[in-house]
Structure 1
Amino acid sequence: MPTSPERLSRFASRRQARMESLPQLTYATAGGSRAWYVADELLCVDDGRRNVERYLGRAYAARPGSGDDELLPGLRRYRAPGLDVRGAVRALHADRPVGARLVTPNHVFLSSPFNHGGPFGPPIPAAASTIKPPAGNIDPVPVTIVDTGLWRETPLPTDYLAPDGVELETETDVDNDGLLDGDVGHANFIGGVVTTHTDRVTLRVVRVLDTFGICTEDQLAAALGRLHPDTKVINLSLGGFTVDGAAPVGVQAALHQALSGADRVVVAAAGNDGNRSEPFWPAAFAGAGESWSQQVVAVAAHDGSDLCDWSNSGPWVSLVAPGQDVRSTFIDHTLFPEGWALWSGTSFAAPRVAAEIAGRIGGGVGAVAATDQLRAEVAAAGQRFGGHVGLI
């Protein structure tokens, strides 16, 4: 169900205005799309630390607001007011082999419809549907949604929510314009997609995005560090481009820590920019050749007959799933009297795949094996959308 052009324009313009109103954020153009990052900040792995500190030297170290801190073991953030971030990254990599990235900007990841990752347009009120209660005769599969906080007033069945692991949303109007922020209920919607397609899960929610769907790379790395140790499937319906197309080192370090040696997988949205040439991170880690890349599933969206024209795509995409006019649980609000909505986006294709993986875990089949099983089944079915195999 297409929304009106006027409503979509208002929705998109508010996201753009929100991004541009945050003084610490700036952007570069990446293949026609915007790569946002934090002004005056660098992220650096330990192997590049000495070079960064030498480069910044006394000129920056003496400035008010300068400093550095450890985000994860082996990963640091440097703050240097007045720094030419892109120039610094180029200089620090000038004598290194192509692909050997030690330093990057502190990128911004979004679940904003106008920019990247999340819903393609505003949610539309929908008639209520039914989600069956959790299966009571098996151990549920722990799924973590790293996203907005969960809005408490929702038709998403509480029996699916882990009592010790749901971070709640607390605001609906962070820009004080008197309107419901565009990504309120994003996690609620994702949770509804998962539980519509499997009753064998327990959900945790780690809040990293604000209600406009914005987080910085260091915030996402920290959120991935808060995963419950039992987590088997991680849903990341967010992402963004980088200024040079290369892997963002902060998320790379966090995913290495979360996935290496673990029976755990990440399902990540491919983004909604209609970009078919630039890698969209963290989904693009599925094709990045890391030791854990097979544990990342990058999900584009189809409309039932073809790849959605607004869905990002590329050789790094793993699977395509339904993403047009998805029906799911939303929030109890005067604008949504049934508490349900229709919403479109790779944000909602990803949890469909997360549900399919979770539903195959058990009986001696772990998360990685379940993911391999799903890939094989989808490939055997032979349904293709835009050159990629996909779920119906």
Structure 2
Amino acid sequence: MATSPERLSRYTARRQTRLEGLRQLRHTAVGTSRAWYVADELLVVDDGRRDVERYLGRAAAARADSGDEELLPGLRRYRAPGLDVPGALRTLRAARPSGTRLASPNHIFLSSPFNHGGPFGPPVPTAAMTIKSPADGVDPVPVTIVDTGLWRDTRLPTDYLVPGGVELETETDVDNDGLLDGDVGHANFIGGVITTHTDRAALRVIRVLDTFGVCTEADLAIALGRLHPDTKVINLSLGGFTADGTAPLGIRTALSRALSGHDRVVVAAAGNDGNRTDPFWPAAFAGAGESWSGQVVAVAAHDGTRLCSWSNTGSWVSLVAPGQDVRSTFIDHTFFPDGWALWSGTSFAAPRVAAEVAARIGAGVGAVAAVERLLAEVASAGQRFGGHVGLI
């Protein structure tokens, strides 16, 4: 449901103001899109520590308040106030064989409906639907939503939420401008999409995005390190670009640890920039040739007829799912009296696929096998959108 140009303009301007008002953020152009990163910081794998410490030790920018910390085994964050991040990376990479990447920026990742060009603006109220109760007599499938916190006042059935496994959001207007922050209720909406399409899910929520849908790559890496061991399906309705198109080093490390040797899959949104040339991460890991890339499902969006014009896509996209005018649980709020909303974005195409994967797990079928089964079924159905197989 297209919103008025005036409302969409206000929505887009507010998003841009928020990002540009965060003093530590920098960006560089990627086509018509932007790659955002944190000033003064590098993410470094262990093999690169000596080179980075040598560089920072002789750099004029290095000061007493510089330092480093371990984010995950094998991954550290270095801070050096005044550091020229692009210049440092050029110098560090020039000293190594071509293609060797031991350090990268601390990128900014953004939720896929809001900060990547929410196609029709903010969510709009809609009539409530009924979600059936969890299935009896079958083992639930552990699904983790790594996203905003869950707003407590919601129509999302609590029987689907793992006791003690849900991190909550408590504020709706952190900038005190009298408007709902742009991504309040994002996790609630995703949970509603999942439970509308399968009664097999047991939902956990890890809070990593703020109420404006913003997190650092370091934050996301740490969040992925906190997955419950039982997790089978991970929903990531967030992402971003990198300046040179190469994989973000921190998330590559975190996903390798989360997926390698585990029967576990990631379902990731392709983003909403209308970008058809540049990889959008972490979804683009589906086509990155990693040993675990087959455990990543990259999801673009269609409107029932064609690939949405605002959906990112590329050779790395696994399949396309409904993403326009999706109806789901939102928050109980004055502006949303029924607690349901319509919202558009690849953020909401991804959980549809997560639900379909969860529904196929069980009876000797693991998470990886469930993905393979789903992709085969979708291909067999013959529906295509923008050159990609599509789920109706």
Tell me the distance in 2 between the aligned counterparts of 1:386 and 1:338.
35
Pair 351,120 (structure 1): closer, same or farther in 2 beyond 3 Å: farther
Q: Which residue does the alignment assign to 1:7?
A: 7
Matching of residues 211-290 of structure 1 within 5 Å: 211-290=211-290
Report the Cα offset of residue 61 of structure 1. 7.6
CA RMSD of aligned residues (A): 1.3
Q: Residue type of the partner of 2:248?
A: P
- Report the counterpart of residue 35 of structure 1 in structure 2: 35
Number of the residue aligned with 2:365: 365
Give the aligned partner of residue 310 of structure 2: 310
Structure 1: 5+ residue stretches without partners: none
The alignment's TM-score, normalised by the length of structure 1, stands at 0.98
Query: AA paired with 2:280?
Result: F
SS at 1:370 equivalent: helix
The offset of 1:151, in angstroms, is 0.1
Tell me the distance in 1 between the aligned counterparts of 2:55 and 2:387: 45
User: How far does residue 116 in structure 1 lie from its aligned partner after superposition?
Assistant: 2.5
In percent, how many aligned pairs have the same letter? 81
Is the Cα–Cα contact under 8 Å of residues 43 and 249 in structure 2 kept in the other structure? yes
Residues 1:313 and 1:282: Cα distance change in structure 2 (over 3 Å)? same
Deviation per CA, 1:97-147, whole angstroms, max 9, x where unpaired? 443221100000001645428776210100000100000110100000000
Stretch of structure 1 that moved more, 28-37 or 185-194: 28-37
Q: Specify whether residues 120 and 268 from structure 1 end up closer, same or farther in structure 2 by C-alpha distance, changes over 3 A only.
A: farther
Q: Which residue in 2 is equivalent to 1:69?
A: 69
* In 1: Cα distance, 2:117 partner to 2:369 partner: 27
In structure 2, what is the Cα distance between the partners aligned to 1:82 and 1:250? 22
Partner letter of residue 14 of structure 2?
Answer: R
What is the rounded CA distance, in whole Å, between the counterparts of 1:150 and 1:118 in structure 2?
A: 20
The number of equivalent residue pairs is 392
Deviation at 1:48, TM superposition (A): 1.0
Q: Residue 169 of structure 2 aligns to a residue in which SS? A: coil
The structure-2 alpha-carbon separation of the partners of 1:114 and 1:155, relative to structure 1 and needing over 3 Å to count, comes to closer
Counterpart mapping for 1:61-100 below 5 A = 62-100=62-100
Aligned ranges 1:182-193 → 2 under 5 Å: 182-193=182-193
Q: 1:60 and 1:251 mapped to 2: Cα distance?
A: 29
Q: Specify the alignment match of 1:146 in structure 2.
A: 146
Cα distance between partner residues in 2 of 1:72 and 1:117: 31
Residues 1:348 and 2:384 aligned together: no
Give distance in 1, aligned partners of 2:321 and 2:309.
14
Moved over 6 A (4+): none
Counterpart CA distance in 1 for 2:112 and 2:288 is 24
Cα distance in structure 1, aligned partners of 2:359 and 2:297: 16
Amino acid at match of 1:150: L
2:199 maps to: 199
**How does 1:314-329 map onto structure 2 within 5 Å?**
314-329=314-329
User: TM-score with structure 2 length normalisation?
Assistant: 0.98
Q: Could you tell me which residue of structure 2 aligns to residue 136 of structure 1? A: 136
Distance in 2 between the 1:263 and 1:119 partners?
34
Q: Secondary structure at the match of 1:7?
A: helix
Cα offsets for 1:294-324 (capped at 9, x unmatched): 0000000000011000000000000100000
Structure 2: gaps spanning 5 or more residues = none
Judged with a 3 Å threshold, the aligned counterparts in structure 2 of structure 1 residues 117 and 141 are, in CA distance, closer, same or farther, namely farther
2:49 aligned residue:
49
Cα distance in 1, alignment partners of residues 63 and 374 from structure 2: 53
CA–CA separation in structure 1 for the residues paired with 2:119 and 2:210: 14
Q: Specify whether residues 239 and 118 from structure 1 end up closer, same or farther in structure 2 by C-alpha distance, changes over 3 A only.
A: farther
In 2, Cα distance between the equivalents of 1:120 and 1:239? 19
